[in-house]
Chain A
Amino acid sequence: MKKILLVGFGNPFRRDDGLGIKLLDLIDDKVEKLKVQELTFDMAEIFKDYDIVIFIDASIEGDEISFKKITEEKTFSPLTHHTSCEELLSWTRTLYNKNPEFYLLSIKGYDFDFGEEISERALENLKKGLEFIKGFLENI
């Protein structure tokens, strides 16, 4: 049985930026979940113990929902504290010699102003994202 972790990230006080966090609230508690505001390099230490890590984040561009497998990128964030999914995969592989599969579900948002409510259009996308994740988990 594969060990799976869902990672929702974003800021729930910035409306649609909280889509990743919100989706985790709607997912069955039997699945292991991690809610964070942003990704940092030290999380490699957590991810190394899973077979599959699925990141869920809001997107400001692209389709209503999109899903992709993450490929490693040996990048360097020059100024920000945020670590990308691609960079985290690099940390996990290089530091721990582990090779979990990383996936990213992006859910398109429209309103990133201050506030806690998800916009109506983003809520529709959230439903689609939820159904997608449920289906994905069932088929693993």
Chain B
Amino acid sequence: MERKITISPVTRIEGHARVTIHLNEDGKVEKAFMHVDQFRGFEKFSEGRHFSEMPIITPRICGICPISHHLASAKATDEIIGVDIPRTAKLLRELIHMGQIIQSHSMHFFELAGPDLILGWDADPKIRNVVGLIQENPQLALKAVKLRKFGQRIIELVAGRRIHPTFAVPGGVNSALSIEARDEILKGIDEMIEYIKEGIKIAEDFIEKNKETCDKFASFSTGYMGLVKEDGSLELYDGKIRFMDKDGNIVKEFKPKYYLKYIGEKVEDWTYLKFPYYKPFGYPEGVYRVGPLARLNIADKISTPLANEEFKKFKALGNGKPVEGSIYYHYARLIETIYALERAREILEDPDAMSQDVLRLGEVVNEEGIGVVEAPRGTLIHHYWVDEKGTIEKVNLIVSTGHNNWAMNKAVEEVAKAFVDGKNLKEGMLNRVEGAIRCYDPCLSCSTHAIGKMPLLIELYDKEGNLLDIIKRD
């Protein structure tokens, strides 16, 4: 008898994931899928708007990484007016992007990954929460709050608002940096780096004690994609797109504006989310991963000293090959957070950051604009088509959770096959499947947040659709 398990953390009405695990007659996993409702509606919603509104509209896609959408959008609008923005504007945009990376990565590590790494996969859900974390490490949660607040504060001080700012505009930014803001941020950086070092210690301890698990848990071959600087070092705001094959060979570097030539999107009938792939390799051979793990795999180095020291340790894990285990996303996330803090200091110590030259005005000169940044979860692409008046005719967004769609499905399937026993379902099994998804930090709570809470469910069905068993977590 074929049976199906559904894990459905649908706490809101859209923008969430559902995992179905299909069992064979012996209770073994046959196949598993992660279904995601995508926010394609935002693309339609934007049509007919003036292009200059897009940096304000698109951040509403997400309450966690609005700055990434804000900046990718602003970069696309720069292209529409054909303007090379002032260096100061680039620096200040990158600075709020660093704030975004700090707040998002620290939130993920300490709130979502932390319970797995500190309390363990099999910990009772009743203690796998803040109280459990505090009992295990009393100061850690406080530091997590301070780190996230620090990232938010950078955004607030530079851009005026910590969520959904109107700071980046076509041609630059709308205000210069104040001395007070610069000094306040600089003052806090060293303390925040110390906090992140504690996180790295946790991750490194976990890796050391669980090396075999880390190497095998949701570990599989894919390509990797992300931005790098001209010299091949880690880049989050600008640069060129680098594609690496599964063996670690750099097979292509291209300007972001040529993304359509290299990235295709496969449609499957069981999910709204498409499956991006590297066109020259076809599908599924060209599937790839983005985000922290991918960025560190494709980069040759990191341009800031502390992060680069950790980067060397990360690279050693792969013995010259890409690091494939999904758990290593957590480690990579922390290394990037150190980079973001160090890079924020570099920007603030750059004399150009204080210049008043922050905006170039322009008219519509191009029918298309493409903006790409490395959002916390991976490469984010905004592509707009406009008419001669600047009215949006078409929008294409490829978000990081989309790029990682194939990988998240693969991770779920690998872990389900390894750990789920349909005849003897246990909480820890479910947590491992969720944990595989958590490695990718998908943005699943992006759009609507109307209260209508549903519990997390595992449901067992026979092939006729009869409910055989249910596990419920409120």
Task: With both chains docked as a complex, state the minimum distance between the C-beta of A33 and any C-beta of chain B, in angstroms.
Answer: 14
Using CB atoms, name the residue of chain A closest to B450: A58
Instruction: Please indicate the chain A residues that have their CB under 8 angstroms from the CB of B45 in the complex.
Output: 13, 114-115
**Contact partner, B107, options A36, A37, A57, A81, Cβ 8 Å:** A81
- Of B62, B146, B450, B473, the residue contacting A16 (CB under 8 A) is B450
Q: Which residues of B contact A106 (CB under 8 A)?
A: 451
C-alpha spacing A81/B145, complex, angstroms: 14
Q: Is A75 part of the binding interface, using a Cβ–Cβ cutoff of 8 Å? A: yes
Which of A10, A16, A45 sits near B149, CB closer than 8 Å?
A45
- Count of chain B residues near A, Cβ 8 A: 59
Closest A residue to B104 by beta carbon equals: A81
B130 in complex: contacting residue of A9, A74, A78, CB < 8 Å: A74
| B453–A84 touching, CB < 8 Å | yes
Partner pick for A79 among B63, B125, B444, B449, CB 8 A cutoff? B444
Closest chain A residue, CB of each to CB of B443:
A81
Nearest CB of B to A129, in Å: 13
Name B11's contact: one of A36, A41, A80 (CB within 8 Å): A80
Q: Within 8 Å CB of B467, what residues of A?
A: none
User: In the bound complex, what is the Cα–Cα distance between A36 and B448 (angstroms)?
Assistant: 12
Q: Which residues of B contact A42 (CB under 8 A)?
A: 107, 144-145, 148-149, 152
B contact residues around A81 at 8 Å (CB): 63-64, 107-108, 111-112, 443-445
Min Cβ gap B18→A in Å is 11
CB of A113, distance to nearest CB on chain B (Å): 7
Report yes or no: A40 in contact with B447, Cβ–Cβ below 8 A.
Answer: no
**Can you name the residue of chain A whose Cβ is closest to the Cβ of B151?**
A42
- Answer yes or no: A94 CB below 8 A from chain B CBs: yes
| Binary CB contact string for chain A from 25 to 68 against chain B (1 if under 8 A, 0 otherwise) | 00000000000111011101100000000000111110000000
Residues B445 and A76 in contact, CB atoms below 8 Å apart: no
Chain A proximity mask over B126-156: 1 for CB below 8 Å, otherwise 0: 1111111010000001101110110010000
Q: How far is the CB of B300 from chain A (nearest CB, A)?
A: 32
- Closest Cβ–Cβ distance, residue A95 to chain B (whole Å): 6
- At the interface, yes or no: B163 with Cβ under 8 Å from chain A? yes
CB closest chain-B residue, reference A90: B130
A75 to B300: give the CA distance in the assembly, Å. 41
Say if the beta carbon of A91 comes within 8 Å of chain B.
yes
B448 A94 Cβ-Cβ under 8 A: no
| A125 vs chain B, min Cβ distance (A) | 12
- The residue that A36 contacts in the complex, of B14, B131, B163, with Cβ under 8 A, is B163
How far is the CB of A83 from the nearest CB of chain B, in Å? Answer: 8
Distance of A74 Cα from B107 Cα, bound (Å): 18
Q: Does B472 sit within 8 A of A, measured CB to CB?
A: no
Contact partner of A57 among B63, B126, B451, CB < 8 A? Answer: B451
B437 at the interface (CB under 8 A from A): yes
Task: Write 8 A-B pairs (CB below 8 A) sorted by A numbering.
Answer: A37-B62, A37-B163, A57-B449, A58-B451, A75-B129, A76-B115, A90-B131, A112-B14
Report the 9 A-B pairs with minimum CB-CB distance, sorted nearest first: A37-B63, A60-B452, A114-B45, A80-B445, A38-B63, A58-B450, A42-B148, A76-B129, A13-B60
20 new A-B contacts, CB < 8 A, other than A42-B152, A81-B64, are A10-B450, A11-B63, A17-B447, A37-B62, A38-B64, A40-B148, A41-B130, A42-B107, A58-B450, A58-B451, A77-B111, A78-B456, A79-B9, A79-B438, A81-B107, A90-B129, A90-B131, A95-B141, A112-B13, A115-B45
